[in-house]
Amino acid sequence: MSASPRSPRTLKGGFVLMDGDGRAVLRSVAFQYNPDTLTRTLTPRQAASETGDRLEALRLRGAPVETLRLEIELDATDRLEQPASNPETVANGILPELADLETIIAPAVADLIAADTLADTGTLEILPLPSPLVLVVLGPRRVLPVRVTEFGVVEEAFDTQLNPIRAKITLGLRILSNDDLTYGSKGAALFFAQAQRRESFARRTAPALSTLGLTGAP
């Protein structure tokens, strides 16, 4: 049964890759299906407690370290039912969609070759290759700079050429904070915007101590 034309459009999550300065969008990658679950872990960054200073127990050294874990699915079954309209899928299965995701964590081949060439001539001290600013987009209110820390693929079905046609991808992400990003950069601005939005949500109502069985401040 087709969906009602009045049904609200469901947004897709995904990634946006920007240049290192955060000024230009290089490309975007939308999830074929939004994940069913999203696991978020926030680890407080507390001051060291071994100093003997009792005030340290109440101090935080910075924003919590926040990690995300999600599983997304790719499935070419529907497209393969209409081969004339989907020649790329017929030829390659979901390899192009996997490549869209895998290249987020892989330096460009041209950069690798250029770095090797310079290293061979002894004209350059090898430094880590620059990478794009990666943003995970989970709706317009959650656009966050991240580093991909885990990338696992389970290919579950194949066509006659052994191209994968169904897969599950497990992603681990670490949200980058002001401790990771240059102050004033696009990534830092997005981190601060999310932190301010969280504070705004937390302050939306006055404290109701009576709900907790208290008649006044403890």
> Over the stretch 100-148, which tens digit does the pLDDT of each residue have?
999 999 888 888 888 788 777 766 555 666 789 999 999 999 999 999 9
- pLDDT for 129 equals 65
- Candidates 208, 192, 184, 209; CA nearest to 21 is 184
State mean pLDDT over 150-179.
96
Is 3 within a domain? no
CA dist 149 and 172 (Å) reads 5
Give alpha helix (H) positions in the chain: 77-80, 87-92, 95-102, 109-121, 186-202
Share of the chain above pLDDT 90, in %: 63
Specify whether the CB–CB gap between 166 and 178 falls below 8 A. no
pTM for this entry: 0.85
- Kindly list the distances between the CA atom of residue 75 and the CA atoms of 90, 96, 98, in Å, as whole numbers in the listed order: 13, 12, 11
Domain that holds residue 172: 14-201
pLDDT at 185: 92
The number of distinct structural domains making up the chain is 1
Residue 151, helix vs strand vs coil: strand
Retrieve residue 51's tokens. Answer: 């100093």
**Cα end-to-end span (Å), the chain:** 57
User: Is 149 inside a domain boundary?
Assistant: yes
Give pLDDT, residue 105: 92
Under 8 Å between Cβ of 101 and 29: yes
User: Could you tell me if residue 218 is inside a domain?
Assistant: no
Mean predicted confidence (pLDDT) in 169-195: 94
Q: Is residue 216 part of a domain?
A: no
1 pLDDT above the threshold of 50: no
The rounded mean pLDDT for the chain is: 88
Task: Over range 92-105, report the average pLDDT.
Answer: 96
- 93 occurs within a structural domain: yes
Whether residue 214 lies inside any domain: the answer is no
Q: Is residue 9 part of a domain?
A: no
Q: How far apart are CA 136 and CA 142, in angstroms?
A: 8
Question: How many other C-beta atoms lie within 10 A of the C-beta of residue 41?
Answer: 11
Radius of gyration over alpha carbons of the chain, in Å? 23
Q: Whole-angstrom Cα distance, residue 210 to residue 207? A: 9
Highest mean pLDDT out of 92-96, 118-122, 124-128, 208-212: 92-96
Closest C-alpha to 130, from 14, 21, 12, 6: 21
pLDDT above 90: residue 7 = no
Is residue 184 assigned to a domain?
Answer: yes
